[in-house]
Amino acid sequence: MAAVAAWLPFARASAIGWVPIATNPLPQNRTIPEHKRGDEKMLINVSGRRFETWRTTLEKYPDTLLGSNEKDFFFDEETKEYFFDRDPDLFRHVLNYYRTGKLHYPKHECISSYDDELAFYGILPDIIGDCCYEDYRDRKRENQERLLDDKCSENGDKNPAGTPREKMWRAFENPHLNTAALVFYYVTGFFIAISVTANVIETVPCGKRRGEKENLPCGERYSVGFFCLDTACVMIFTAEYLLRLFAAPDRLKFMRSVMSVIDVVAILPYYIGLVITDNDDVSGAFVTLRVFRVFRIFKFSRHSEGLRILGYTLKSCASELGFLLFSLSMAIIIFATVMFYAEKNVADTKFTSIPASFWYTIVTMTTLGYGDIVPKTITGKIVGGVCSLSGVLVIALPVPVIVSNFSRIYHQNQRQDKRKAQKVARLARIRMAKNASGAAFLNSKKKIQEMMLAQENCLSMDDFKEDIFQLQHHHLLSCLEKTTDRTHGRYEREPEELNDIQIRLPRIKRSSGSSLNAVDSYKTNNTLTVTTAIVTLPTPSTTSETESESVRTQSTSGTMSPSSHSQNQGVVRISTL
């Protein structure tokens, strides 16, 4: 609305057209006092880059930072400008929003930094113009998915072993956790392979048995052996399935999942075979059931990431596959019909019916061309040619979509795995950097304390620069130390998470010759107001005990206890006053 404020005088002027035909006298306008409609220019300084704009431009959107009086907080009296310590490149886009009413998203910017800027200036990202909105949404979704992934995997790693049931479930899902899970993983894989191989070899002719005339397949010759093998495999699979079922956090969901269905289908034929007696009419059905044993090969998908990705791809390309199927069947029916009527009157023709022609059409369209059924009339041959050409086209169309989908999902997966692998190394490097900054912090803290100490003793230490901010900061930290009866100290590299203030310390070596010892309470005792103390904690498992120990000793030793070194533990303790 405010964007067209410039047109309001015009709209009011055109309302003169209402006057002659108004039913009632129109109300008077409130006289506006003589106010200079000064449209002044506003100076906005964003990290050194100056922007200027009219005041009315900014006031177009009064619910944002720049449009409301919130910007008064950033007003610099001396230079009479608004100073923002933010990214000047991104500010460009924000200002353009005020100018043109459309917010654009620059493609080369990081999505989260852009979001931060928008949040700072109080602009909703939904206002992004149509030209850039899709891009923004895509990037945002990608980012959030990645964050979610990371968080999930973090949570997964962080969780210590819960109940035995949870442990088992985690072992099943992630075999690399401990050796038992790995062994289980390989054993099941081995048995799947054995089972599948046995099924295959069963049907190979094994040579004559003594006294028999025909060549029997191996399955019948060594039927007992194969039966025992089959039984063993099925028992292993059943045990595995039952264990998984027991360990699953959500049993119904687990039973509905694809993998468990495959498991069931793999072992069911055996049990059904056991139950069904040697009846003639059902034994035919029983033989067909044996076919389902081949599904055991799908159990390998737990072991192979690639197979899972393939399955997932096919699922996600369901619409393309459906389209392929549909168009193929349409084409088959058309061509089969035409072929049938073309070849109907040929003597001894194989095209006996339209369904019989289906076979020819399928073989031709997929360019197989077995040759067991061929057209003999000229029309038939022409139609056959067209059929094979169109077959190539119809099949070639949806295939690239499926391929690109597979490629995308595969690469996504690879990236995820790579990220997880790199994360450990990355975290280690980040820790080292934090260590360094933490060490610098402690050094400066020591200097401040020395300086304060020197001031207490009226020594002139004019080497140290007086930094008000640092002084106050360190004063604050020493207050904290006093409050909690703990202190900060030096530390070395140790694989632990670090925050800025709370520093968990590993064992330290006894330091000699450092400035720390210069202010040891060994020499000067009662006049000390502040001493540094280092409380180190040995291995985390014994943390609780030593902490309580140290608290006890500190409390019993009173306020002016001398320092105590217990070197066998690697703990240097100098109590604070």
Contact positions toward another protein, by CB under 8 A? Answer: 1, 3-23, 25-29, 32, 35, 37, 39, 54
Nearest to 126 by CA among 136, 117, 112, 138: 136
Nearer to another protein (CB atom), residue 10 or residue 522: 10
To the nearest whole angstrom, how small is the minimum distance from the Cβ of residue 24 to another protein? 8
Nearest to 240 by CA among 289, 195, 293, 299: 299
To the nearest whole angstrom, how small is the minimum distance from the Cβ of residue 104 to another protein? 16
To the nearest whole angstrom, how small is the minimum distance from the Cβ of residue 17 to another protein? 4
Burial class (CB in 10 A: 0-12, 13-18, 19+), 150: middle
DSSP secondary structure, 105-162, as one string: --TTS-HHHHHHHHHHTT--GGGB-HHHHHHHHHHHHHHHHHHHHHHHHHHHHHPPP-
Nearer to another protein (CB atom), residue 16 or residue 224: 16
To the nearest whole angstrom, how small is the minimum distance from the Cβ of residue 33 to another protein? 9
To the nearest whole angstrom, how small is the minimum distance from the Cβ of residue 338 to another protein? 40
Nearer to another protein (CB atom), residue 6 or residue 252: 6
Q: Strand order in 49-54's β-sheet?
A: 49-54, 41-46, 81-84, 75-76
- List all residues 6 or more positions away from 314 whose beta carbon is below 8 Å from its beta carbon: 321, 402
Nearer to another protein (CB atom), residue 13 or residue 275: 13
To the nearest whole angstrom, how small is the minimum distance from the Cβ of residue 3 to another protein? 7
| Pairing between β-strand 564-566 and β-strand 571-573 as defined by DSSP bridges | antiparallel
To the nearest whole angstrom, how small is the minimum distance from the Cβ of residue 99 to another protein? 8
Rounded CA-CA distance 87/120 in Å is 11
Nearer to another protein (CB atom), residue 24 or residue 527: 24
- In which residue are the tokens 């005088």 written? 9
Rounded CA-CA distance 305/191 in Å is 19
To the nearest whole angstrom, how small is the minimum distance from the Cβ of residue 442 to another protein? 58
Nearer to another protein (CB atom), residue 7 or residue 73: 7
Nearer to another protein (CB atom), residue 6 or residue 468: 6
Task: Judge contact between 336 and 325, C-beta under 8 A.
Answer: no
To the nearest whole angstrom, how small is the minimum distance from the Cβ of residue 27 to another protein? 8
Nearer to another protein (CB atom), residue 17 or residue 513: 17
To the nearest whole angstrom, how small is the minimum distance from the Cβ of residue 65 to another protein? 22
Nearer to another protein (CB atom), residue 34 or residue 462: 34
To the nearest whole angstrom, how small is the minimum distance from the Cβ of residue 59 to another protein? 13
Nearer to another protein (CB atom), residue 7 or residue 469: 7
To the nearest whole angstrom, how small is the minimum distance from the Cβ of residue 28 to another protein? 6
Coil/strand/helix, residue 336:
helix
Rounded CA-CA distance 138/378 in Å is 56
Provide the phi-psi class of 377: left if phi over 0, else alpha when psi is between -120 and 50, else beta. beta
Nearer to another protein (CB atom), residue 38 or residue 558: 38
Which CA distances in Å does 115 have to 26, 92, 123, 125, 549? 49, 14, 9, 7, 49
Query: In this structure, which long-range contacts are made by residues 220-226, counting pairs with CB atoms below 8 Å and at least 24 apart in sequence?
Result: 226/198, 226/202
Nearest to 358 by CA among 341, 382, 337: 337
To the nearest whole angstrom, how small is the minimum distance from the Cβ of residue 1 to another protein? 6
Nearest to 364 by CA among 398, 318, 395, 343: 395
Task: Judge contact between 506 and 435, C-beta under 8 A.
Answer: no
Rounded CA-CA distance 396/115 in Å is 43
Task: Judge contact between 394 and 365, C-beta under 8 A.
Answer: yes
Rounded CA-CA distance 191/302 in Å is 13
Rounded CA-CA distance 454/446 in Å is 12
Task: Judge contact between 344 and 351, C-beta under 8 A.
Answer: yes
Nearer to another protein (CB atom), residue 1 or residue 396: 1
Nearer to another protein (CB atom), residue 20 or residue 495: 20
